[in-house]
């Protein structure tokens, strides 16, 4: 019997503009609705399902990519940086892109293929960048490496991933939702003291004890903190003692951001991963190879700065950036998520 394909109606929304992630069908289809995408970006927002690459010019200026070279994008994401680096290769050479997110990396691989970048010039590997030594064993060393340590906008904006306190969804926060414990599970496993330590160490949260106490007590009373909304409301309750002035709302917002950041770092073992990456980095660079790293909070930046200084002292790097490089004011205006970005770089010794 012949199967009849029924037409699936698009999600309807109330009001002039869509508000929910799944309703923003135009933003999810940038090739078809370029005017809409341009309008959203011009307003300083990131279209749903997209990620606007940060400091592309500054990265390319430093890496000085030449046709025929071999490079590594340690954090593939949406593929914007990779695409820009592939242009510099002019069809000669190869770039390897690493990612732990099976959902987004598959989309990026398809996106790059549509641009004409097939497996002859770019290879996507589903592997954590802590294992760059294993990658280099297969591929050989690299002329240039980029690591963008930020969370991609596609993950932040998708409620199903649980990365944002602004939209309701499961409290997940895993880069790879198929592995490990979710943030909700972690909150059930750890003690109040461990949560306090996590908030202080991972995000310098000034109200760590107050937030951890409320979260711990709620769970003890049978109220699981298993959604983004539940955690946000717990933070709001914990900070209810703050004076009702114009600064209270901003303080709560920042505590929400820091708490979600602390949990994300813990769930994905981000500091441990970065430690491993930085330790192995000199061993996978060719002589005079170049590496650029984008960080988004002080903890990451401190680790990168310390590793580069130690690497120079030990002779692994011939030169390192003396100061951080920041995105331009114009870029920050067009992309608010660029504001906290810091870039550091290093050039490998010519004796490696």
CA 351/CA 312 separation, integer angstroms: 13
pLDDT in tens, 83-114: 999 999 999 999 999 998 888 889 899 999 99
Query: What would the mean pLDDT of 59-78 be, rounded to a whole number?
Result: 96
pLDDT tier at 352 (50, 70, 90 boundaries)?
low
Percent of the chain at pLDDT exceeding 70: 84
Query: What would the mean pLDDT of 173-196 be, rounded to a whole number?
Result: 92
CA 161/CA 173 separation, integer angstroms: 6
Write down the pLDDT at residue 297: 86
Write down the mean pLDDT value for the chain. 87
Q: How far is C-alpha 242 from the chain's CA centre?
A: 32
Write down the pLDDT at residue 200: 95
Q: 3-state DSSP call for residue 71?
A: strand
Q: Which stretch of 1-15, 137-151, 215-229 has the lowest confidence by average pLDDT?
A: 1-15
CA 317/CA 320 separation, integer angstroms: 7
Nearest CA to 27 out of 172, 153, 171 is that of 153
The alpha helices in the chain, defined as continuous H runs, are 34-42, 56-63, 80-89, 102-114, 132-139, 153-157, 183-189, 192-203, 208-220, 228-238, 248-267, 270-284, 298-313, 329-334
Write down the pLDDT at residue 346: 98
CA 265/CA 288 separation, integer angstroms: 32
Write down the pLDDT at residue 1: 45
pLDDT in tens, 12-48: 555 555 555 444 444 444 555 455 544 544 554 444 4
Query: What would the mean pLDDT of 181-209 be, rounded to a whole number?
Result: 95
User: Structural domains in the chain?
Assistant: 56-153+271-348 (3.40.50.150), 176-267 (1.10.150)
pLDDT in tens, 241-269: 999 888 999 999 999 999 999 999 999 99
CB 72 within 8 A of CB 142: yes
pLDDT at 129 over 70: yes
Write down the pLDDT at residue 41: 45
Write down the pLDDT at residue 51: 54
pLDDT in tens, 324-346: 999 999 999 888 878 889 999 99
Write down the pLDDT at residue 4: 46
Please give the order of strands across the beta sheet that includes 342-348. 122-126, 94-99, 70-73, 142-148, 285-295, 342-348, 317-320
CB 114 within 8 A of CB 29: no
Nearest CA to 181 out of 271, 255, 299, 269 is that of 269
Write down the pLDDT at residue 37: 45
């Amino acid at each position: 019997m012949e199967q009849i394909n029924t037409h699936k109606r698009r999600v309807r929304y109330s009001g002039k503009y869509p508000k929910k992630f799944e309703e923003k069908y135009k933003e999810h289809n940038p090739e078809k609705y370029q005017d809409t995408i341009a309008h959203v970006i011009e307003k300083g927002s990131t279209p749903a399902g997209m990620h606007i690459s940060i400091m592309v010019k500054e990265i390319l200026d430093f890496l000085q990519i030449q046709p025929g070279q071999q490079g590594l994008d340690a954090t593939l994401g949406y593929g914007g940086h990779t695409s820009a680096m592939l242009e510099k290769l002019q069809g000669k050479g190869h770039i390897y892109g690493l990612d732990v997110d099976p959902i987004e990396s598959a989309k990026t691989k398809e996106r790059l293929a549509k641009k004409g970048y097939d497996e002859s010039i770019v290879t996507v590997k589903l592997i954590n960048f802590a294992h760059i030594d294993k990658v280099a064993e297969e591929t050989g060393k690299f002329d240039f490496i980029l690591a963008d340590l930020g969370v991609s906008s596609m993950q932040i904006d998708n409620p199903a991933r649980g990365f944002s306190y602004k939209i309701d969804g499961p409290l997940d926060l895993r880069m790879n939702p198929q592995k490990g414990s979710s943030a909700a599970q972690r909150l059930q496993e750890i003690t109040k003291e461990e949560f306090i330590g996590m908030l202080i160490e991972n995000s310098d949260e000034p109200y760590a004890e107050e937030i951890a106490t409320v979260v711990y007590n709620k769970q003890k009373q049978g109220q699981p903190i298993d959604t983004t909304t539940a955690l946000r409301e717990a933070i709001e309750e914990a900070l209810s003692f703050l004076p009702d002035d114009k600064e209270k709302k901003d303080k709560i917002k920042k505590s929400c951001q820091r708490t979600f950041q602390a949990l994300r770092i813990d769930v994905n073992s981000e500091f441990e991963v970065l430690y491993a990456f930085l330790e192995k980095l000199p061993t996978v660079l060719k002589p005079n190879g170049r590496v650029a790293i984008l960080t988004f909070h002080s903890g990451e930046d401190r680790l990168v700065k310390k590793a580069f200084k130690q690497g120079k002292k030990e002779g692994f790097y011939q030169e390192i950036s003396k100061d951080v490089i920041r995105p331009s004011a114009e870029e920050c205006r067009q992309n608010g998520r660029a504001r906290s970005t810091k870039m550091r770089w290093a050039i490998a010794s010519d004796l490696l």
